[in-house]
Amino acid sequence: MRAADSLAMPSAAEGQPSRPLLCPSVLELIGNTPLVEIQRVRDGVPATVQLFAKLEGFNPGGSVKDRPALRMVREGLESGQLHPGKTILDSTSGNTGIALAMIGAALGFPVKLVMPANVSRERRQVVQAFGAEIVLSDPLEGSDGAIRLCRTILAEAPERYFKPDQYFNEANPRAHFHTTGPEIWRQTEGRVTHFVSGIGTGGTIMGTGRYLKSRNPRVQVIAAEPDDAFHGIEGLKHMASSIVPGVYKEHELDAKIGVTTDDAYAMVYRLAREEGLVVGQSCGAAHCVALRIARTLSEGCVVVLFADFGSRYLSTNLWAGWTPP
């Protein structure tokens, strides 16, 4: 049984910025996601160590990627690189595609996305629901194949497109420096000692980590990555075998820890059944690393970023064929 006091009705947090109750656009709902304390999946973490997950699935596009997508589009508009008549083009098999499709729909820009042909059915459907066009790349070449095909499309008609280029656009980490980082600092009242996140483009961990270290240089920033190039952790990159994103600066990290696909999947199943959080594969990997770090501490406040919820992975191998234990 949970502690009785945890069953009390929550009271409104005073003085905390929160989402507006009434706003002019879905874009105003991006950010200000909640932190939730991880109560059960702690595996030997001392009671003196707090463990929080930042639930980015609460963004309107369903993931952390709403933040950099919005920032890249807004900076594109401000610089004049994006203007009416242009199409937003990028290579993304994942949440950035959904975010760009949503933002494009909200702002009235057409969106074209290059993604490997083995992208999950529900991802393809949600992107198309927002009206975006999909170009499929060779599934055997993964996200790097989509990056290369996107570059070819852009080179053929550069005047037609605005390419946010999440892998090389500093607006990506900047989004997290200005939103995710300050939110975590505020939500933990400056007590955060460790920040853990998966790495795909590296934007989340770079921007959030920079902000937190600017407030307290002792904050440790730790990346979770697949332990191998051939893996099943959607959204994460094995950096040593990938096209390294320009925004990713490994020397700024305090540690980078590899996680097997099996361990990441097992953690997803546990988080669902023990915490009531059905999250994506990358969150399972990130939580494995958070536990590994938190177990070594005598006191501290560990924040792990859960990039999305799991409903958009139900047709993937993570859940397809899975049977309750």
Partner 1 sequence: MSQVRIPTPLRKYTGGADAVEASGDTVGALLGDLEARYPGIRERICDESGQIRRFVNVFVNGEDIRFLANLDTPVRAGDELSIVPAIAGGC
Catalytic residues: 65, 282
What number of H helices and E strands is found in the chain? Answer: 9, 10
Q: Does 235 bind partner 1 (CB under 8 A)?
A: yes
Q: Does 311 bind partner 1 (CB under 8 A)?
A: no
Residue 160 Cβ vs partner 1, minimum distance, rounded to whole Å: 23
What mask, x for binding partner 1 by CB under 8 A, covers residues 15 to 54? ----------------------------------------
Q: Does 250 bind partner 1 (CB under 8 A)?
A: no
CA 44 vs. chain centroid, Å, equals 26
Alpha helices by DSSP H, 249-310 = 261-270, 281-294
Distances (CA, A) of 160 to 77, 155, 173, 273: 15, 10, 26, 48
What is the total residue count of the chain? Answer: 325
Q: What is the dihedral of CA 310, 316, 319, 321, to 10 degrees?
A: 170
| Nearest alpha-carbon partner for 268 in 290, 287, 292, 293 | 287
* Binder of partner 1 out of 71, 176, 231, 287 (CB under 8 A): 231
Asked if 307 contacts 283 with a C-beta cutoff of 8 angstroms, the reply is: yes
Q: What is the dihedral of CA 218, 30, 242, 247, to 10 degrees?
A: -60
Q: Does 228 bind partner 1 (CB under 8 A)?
A: yes
What mask, x for binding partner 1 by CB under 8 A, covers residues 183 to 212? -----------------xx-----------
The count of chain residues that interact with partner 1, using the rule CB under 8 A, is: 45
Asked if 73 contacts 100 with a C-beta cutoff of 8 angstroms, the reply is: yes
Amino acid sitting at position 69:
A
Burial class of residue 174 in the structure, from the number of CB atoms within 10 Å of its CB (0-12 exposed, 13-18 middle, 19+ buried): buried
* Binder of partner 1 out of 142, 182, 246, 258 (CB under 8 A): 142
Structure tokens, 227: 């332990």
* Binder of partner 1 out of 132, 282, 305, 306 (CB under 8 A): 282
**Contact stretch for partner 1 (CB under 8 A) within 8-16, 31-39, 94-102, 210-218:** 94-102
Q: Does 115 bind partner 1 (CB under 8 A)?
A: yes
Amino acid sitting at position 23:
C
Residue 8: count of CB within 10 angstroms of its CB: 8
Q: Does 265 bind partner 1 (CB under 8 A)?
A: yes
Residue 261 Cβ vs partner 1, minimum distance, rounded to whole Å: 5
How far apart CA 207 and CA 234 sit, in angstroms, is 21
| Nearest alpha-carbon partner for 38 in 53, 54, 17 | 53
**Contact stretch for partner 1 (CB under 8 A) within 74-82, 188-196, 210-218, 313-321:** 313-321
Which one, 111 or 302, has the nearer CB to partner 1? Answer: 111
Q: Does 169 bind partner 1 (CB under 8 A)?
A: no
Which one, 166 or 187, has the nearer CB to partner 1? Answer: 166
**Contact stretch for partner 1 (CB under 8 A) within 20-28, 143-151, 211-219, 289-297:** 143-151
Residue 118 Cβ vs partner 1, minimum distance, rounded to whole Å: 5
Which one, 183 or 308, has the nearer CB to partner 1? Answer: 308
Footprint of partner 1 on this chain (CB under 8 A)? Answer: 65, 92-96, 115-120, 123, 139-146, 166-167, 200-201, 228-238, 241, 261-262, 265, 281-282, 316-317, 321
